[in-house]
């Protein structure tokens, strides 16, 4: 059997950080399970975050009006993307699991990791209008966010000062990872390690190690499948009337984003729903 590959896209400046410790646990545990583990240590690589004309080698399709998305798609087709992007795309292709390891910055990933997403997930390579979400290009791969916070867990509750963490995670988990087709595993959140006693931090790392042992067997998070929508510009890519009617008596919205004006489905972006949860059955991935 071919060796399985995991990729850890890692963004922290300090080898002594808690993020580094979390990354090391993942590397050790996945290697133990027989994985070949690739790490993209973005700061060490001095990975460029800015999406510019320099990402394309050779001539542009339209040098009068530079359009990054169009030009990089064209360059990907022609094999004209810059070496650093090609290298990362090769890793993505090889990996069946990608873990994004980072400290939460401004409710999101650090700029260097956002740059990785902007530059590596090129149109054509990672998505197209025909191949997105549950029909996406990476639908046979799994991806997840693993991150540390400054805030405590209660600060990110729906009644906490920062608001619901499910809302914070929606753009990254739905808008980036699932958009490219990835099956998104529940996030691993290390709440406020800097404010925890050392034994609690050790327990967090051991909890992560234990989770990694069964990670690939976990059910992914639930998103609304493309089949629920009218996938035409004429139809506005809107949820079909039939699905709306079917959902009418449901107490909760479909997902964190597709809330349909109802209360958000609890922890939609934090925990995978079990096979027996009825309202999830309809919107589970079809692949
Ligand atoms: C620009 C910016 C924006 C931010 N935005 C947000 C935000 O929107 N929301 C939010 O919640 N936070 C935010 N933060 C805070 C940030 O998320 C936290 O500072 C970060 O997640 C802490 O993780 P760390 O790895 O840097 O911790 P560190 O400070 O490196 O580590 C925490 C503790 O763990 C210890 N440690 C290291 N290795 C081990 C080990 N092996 N075992 C046990 N202990 C160990 C360290 O010594 C340290 O005491 C922001 C920070 C910045 C700089």
Residue 38 beta carbon below 6 angstroms from any ligand 1 atom: no
CB 154 less than 6 A from any atom of ligand 1: no
* Boundary residue ending a domain (202, 217, 232): 217
Q: Is the CB of 18 under 6 A from ligand 1?
A: yes
Average pLDDT, stretch 76-102?
A: 98
In this structure, which residue's CA is closest to atom 30 in ligand 1?
17
Q: Please write the tens of the pLDDT for every residue from 25-35.
A: 999 999 999 99
Long-range contacts of 253-259 (CB under 8 A, 24+ apart): 254/224, 254/228, 254/283, 255/174, 255/222, 255/223, 255/224, 255/283, 256/166, 256/167, 256/169, 256/170, 256/174, 257/170, 257/174, 258/224
Domain interval for residue 184? 5-217
75 with 10, same domain? Answer: yes
Tell me what pLDDT residue 279 has: 41
Q: Which of 166, 194, 217 is the last residue of a domain?
A: 217
Q: What is the pLDDT of residue 35?
A: 97
Residue 102 CA to ligand 1 center (angstroms) comes to 9
pTM over 0.75: yes
User: Are 72 and 207 found together in one domain?
Assistant: yes
Looking at the structure, do residues 170 and 274 belong to the same domain, yes or no? Answer: no
Three-point CA angle 198, 211, 87, nearest 5°: 100
In the block, tokens 């530059």 appear at 119
Region 249-262 average pLDDT = 95
Nearest-angstrom CA–CA distance, 113 and 196: 26
- Looking at residue 283, its pLDDT comes to 37
Q: Are residues 171 and 283 in the same domain?
A: no
pLDDT of residue 280: 38
pLDDT at 281: 37
* Spacing, Cα 238 to ligand 1 middle (Å): 40
Q: Which of 217, 238, 271 is the last residue of a domain?
A: 217
Does residue 231 share a domain with residue 202? no
Supply the pLDDT for residue 286. Answer: 34
- Number of folded domains in the chain? 2
pLDDT at residue 102 tops 80: yes
Residues 161, 259: one domain? no
Q: What is the pLDDT of residue 275?
A: 55
Q: Is the CB of 194 within 6 Å of ligand 1?
A: yes
Statement to judge: residues 113 and 228 lie in one domain: no
Expressed in angstroms and rounded, the spacing between residue 18 Cα and the centre of ligand 1 is 6
* Mean local confidence (pLDDT), 39-59: 97
150 and 75 in one domain?
yes
Looking at ligand 1, which atom is closest to the CA of residue 108?
8
The CATH number of residue 144's host domain is 3.40.50.360
Give distance in angstroms: CA of 148 to centre of ligand 1.
Answer: 6
Predicted confidence (pLDDT) per residue in 214-230, tens digit: 999 999 999 999 999 99
pLDDT category of residue 83 using cuts at 50, 70 and 90: very high
Whether 90 shows a pLDDT value over 50: the answer reads: yes
């Amino acid at each position: 059997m071919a060796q399985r590959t995991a990729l850890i896209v890692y963004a922290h400046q300090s080898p002594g950080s808690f993020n580094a410790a979390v990354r090391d646990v993942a590397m050790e545990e996945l290697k133990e399970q027989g994985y070949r583990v690739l790490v993209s240590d973005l700061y060490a690589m001095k990975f460029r975050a800015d999406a510019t004309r320099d990402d394309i080698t050779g001539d542009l399709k339209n040098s009068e009006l530079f359009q990054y998305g169009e030009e990089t798609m064209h360059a990907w087709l022609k094999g004209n993307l810059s070496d650093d992007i090609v290298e990362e795309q090769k890793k993505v292709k090889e990996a069946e699991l990608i873990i994004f390891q980072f400290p939460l910055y401004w409710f999101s990933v650090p700029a260097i990791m956002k740059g990785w997403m902007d530059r590596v997930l090129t149109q054509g390579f990672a998505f197209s209008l025909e191949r997105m979400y549950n029909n996406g290009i990476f639908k046979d791969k799994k991806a997840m966010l693993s991150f540390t916070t400054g805030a405590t867990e209660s600060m990110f509750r729906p009644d906490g000062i920062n608001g619901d963490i499910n809302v914070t995670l929606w753009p990254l988990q739905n808008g980036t990872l699932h958009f490219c087709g990835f099956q998104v595993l529940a996030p691993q959140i290390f709440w406020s390690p800097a404010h925890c006693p050392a034994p609690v931090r050790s327990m967090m790392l051991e909890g992560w190690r234990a989770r990694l042992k069964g990670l690939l067997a976990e059910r992914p998070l639930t998103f609304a499948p493309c089949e629920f929508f009218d996938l035409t510009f004429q139809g506005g890519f809107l949820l079909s009337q039939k699905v709306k009617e079917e959902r009418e008596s449901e107490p909760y919205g479909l997902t964190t984003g597709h809330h349909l004006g109802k209360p958000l489905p609890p922890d939609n972006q934090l925990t995978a729903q079990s096979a027996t949860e009825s309202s999830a059955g309809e919107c589970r991935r079809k692949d």
